[in-house]
Every structure is written in C-alpha cells, then in structure tokens.
Amino acid sequence: MARNPLIAGNWKMHKSERQAEEYIQALLPRVAALEGVGVAICAPYTDLKALADSARGSRVEVYAQNMHQEDQGAYTGEVSAPMLSEAGVQGVVLGHSERRAQFGESDHALALKVPAALRAGLTPLLCVGESEQERDAGDTERRLRQQIAEDLGGVAAEQLSELVIAYEPVWAIGTGRVASPEQAQEAIAFIRALLAARDERAAQQVRILYGGSVDPDNAAGLLELPDIDGALVGGASLQVDSFARIVAAARR
C-alpha cells in the first residue's frame, strides 16, 4: 500500500512570528511542484496562526510542538487541542525526547494527549526512540515496545492509521550522528510490526518517519528505504534551502 512521504520540520524554540512569515513565503514556491510529498512545519505557539493563514491552500501543513490533554481548565501556561485546531493547526508533535527529558512528559500523559489530539481533528506526530544507554544495553526494542504500548494505549486500533509516528533515537538528535539507513529501517520495521499486532491494516497505512541529524546530504539514503515514510528534521529545517532540498529528496 502506497504511503505518501511526509517531511516535517521541527523548529523547536526558533523563529519569531516575523521570521516565520519570511520563511513560509520563501518555502511555498520551493515545494509547490513536489506532488505526492506532504510537508509540515512544527512551530512555536506564537507562530502558528500566522503560518496557518499563510500556508492555507498549499501543501504545507502547520503543527504545534506540544499541547495539554484537557480541552480547558486551570492549567496555567498550557494550550489545548481545540485551541490549536481553531488557530488552523493540522497536527501536533507529542512525546518529543526533549519534552520527555527536560519537561517531564510522561507516557501516562501521552496516553491521554494522543486521543485528545485525535478528538480535536489534529494529527498526532508521536515521537519514540531509545537513548544511547538503552541501545548499548540491547534495550532498544524493549524501549520502543513500552513507548508504543503506553503512549497509544488510549487509541482504538482502527484509529491508529490517523497517526504519524517518528522514530527518533535520542543519540542521533542534534549530534550529527545520523542513524544508518539499516538502523533506521530495522527500528521502523519493528515499530510497524508492533502496530500490526494491534491492527494489520492500520499498520500498513500509518506513516513512520525517521528523525535525528537528517540533512540534505543524508536524506536520500534514508528516504529511499521502503519502511521509512519521511523525516522529522530539526536543525536542517531552520534554513529554507536545506529544508526544501530534503523535501525534494522525498519525491518517489
């Protein structure tokens, strides 16, 4: 079953609204002709409305980088899924390793956030991946199995196909140590097999991306592999030129 590739740029805490606007105006013509490739920009909250307005009607979708699991309430500093949806946002990154490590994002919270995003019509982009220590200890599969089981525990099997999953080994994020195509392919095939145990059809439809030190030089070697449905790009998404070259590399 053909899955359209998705290239998502995770800006993390970069770009003011003005910088975001300049970027999107430069990106739109660069990706307009790349049919069959989905593009998403995962931006800080303050950029989302402007980006969504500028990208409307184009192939570029706008994602947030986090959200709260409740629709509303006494949660100072938080933003909910319906708020993102009303701002024109199409998806949301959940469980990024930086949020897990630095902000206490737990598998328990993710088990509530993923269904909350789906209820609001947002595409959850769930990040999973092992640390260097876990890989060295031979614990990669155990870690992936645990994250997939717990984070997706609240999602009905037939809804799994609406998700995007990003395999982001923690040791490859921001380090320049990109996973080899074989390492990425092996982990992603394992994740797909875990999903297939819940729903074979959904597992064939769900897009699974690779993330961690993707750049214009290594993208093609990763994206040509059959199980890798795209990339979640950090540093190399901050410049329009390098991001657009990665999008172009995803064309099949």
List residues binding ligand 13P (CB under 6 A).
10, 96, 168, 173-174, 211-214, 232-236
CA atoms within 13 A on the CB side of 165: 29
Q: Which of 61, 68, 96, 98 is catalytic?
A: 96
Shortest distance (Å) from residue 210 CB to ligand 13P: 10
Q: Are 13 and 217 in contact (CB under 8 A)?
A: no
Q: Note if 98 is an active site residue.
A: no
Shortest distance (Å) from residue 77 CB to ligand 13P: 22
Q: Which is nearer to ligand 13P, 52 or 128 (by Cβ)?
A: 128
DSSP the chain: -----EEEEE--S---HHHHHHHHHHHHHHHTT-TT-EEEEE--HHHHHHHHHHHTTSSEEEEES--BSSSSSS-TT--BHHHHHHTT--EEEES-HHHHHHS---HHHHHHHHHHHHHTT-EEEEEE---HHHHHTT-HHHHHHHHHHHHTTTS-GGGGGG-EEEE--GGGTTSS-PPPHHHHHHHHHHHHHHHHHH-HHHHHHSEEEEESS--TTTHHHHHTSTT--EEEESGGGSSHHHHHHHHHHT--
Shortest distance (Å) from residue 10 CB to ligand 13P: 4
Within 10 Å of residue 86's Cβ, how many Cβ atoms? 11
Shortest distance (Å) from residue 215 CB to ligand 13P: 8
Q: Which is nearer to ligand 13P, 191 or 202 (by Cβ)?
A: 191
Distance CA 185, CA 120 (A): 32
Shortest distance (Å) from residue 170 CB to ligand 13P: 9
The closest residue (CB) to ligand 13P is 234
Q: Which is nearer to ligand 13P, 115 or 211 (by Cβ)?
A: 211
Q: Which is nearer to ligand 13P, 20 or 166 (by Cβ)?
A: 166
Q: Note if 17 is an active site residue.
A: no
Q: Which is nearer to ligand 13P, 140 or 199 (by Cβ)?
A: 140
Which residues are catalytic, by number? 96, 168
